[in-house]
Amino acid sequence: MHELSLAESILQLIEEAAVEQQFTQVKTVWLEVGQLACVEQESLRFFFAVVTEDSIARQAKLEIIDIAGQAKCGQCHRVMMIATYHQACPQCGSYALHVTQGDGMRIKELEVE
Partner 1 sequence: MCTTCGCGVGQTRINGQSMPSRHRSNTRLHYRPSQSAHDPAHEQVSAPVTADHATDTLHFGTGIAGTHAPGMSQSRIVKIERDILAKNNQYAAENRRYFAQHGIFALNLVSSPGSGKTTVLVKTIEMLRDRFPIAVIEGDQQTDHDAARIRATGVPALQINTGKGCHLDAHMIGQALQQMSILDNSLLFIENVGNLVCPSGFDLGEAHKVVILSATEGEDKPLKYPDMFHAADLMLLNKCDLLPHLTFDVDLAIDYAHRIHPGLPVLQISATLGSGMQAWIDWISAGCHRAAAASQLPQHIDSTLG
Which residues sit at the interface with partner 1, rule CB under 8 A? 1-2, 4-6, 8-19, 21, 23-25, 27, 31, 37-39, 46-47, 50, 54-56, 58-60, 74, 84-86, 88, 94-97, 104-113
Cα→Cα distances 71→17, 36, 110, Å: 32, 11, 29
Residue 86 Cβ vs partner 1, minimum distance, rounded to whole Å: 4
Answer whether 60's CB lies under 8 Å from 27's CB: yes
- Report, in Å, the least distance between residue 60 CB and partner 1: 7
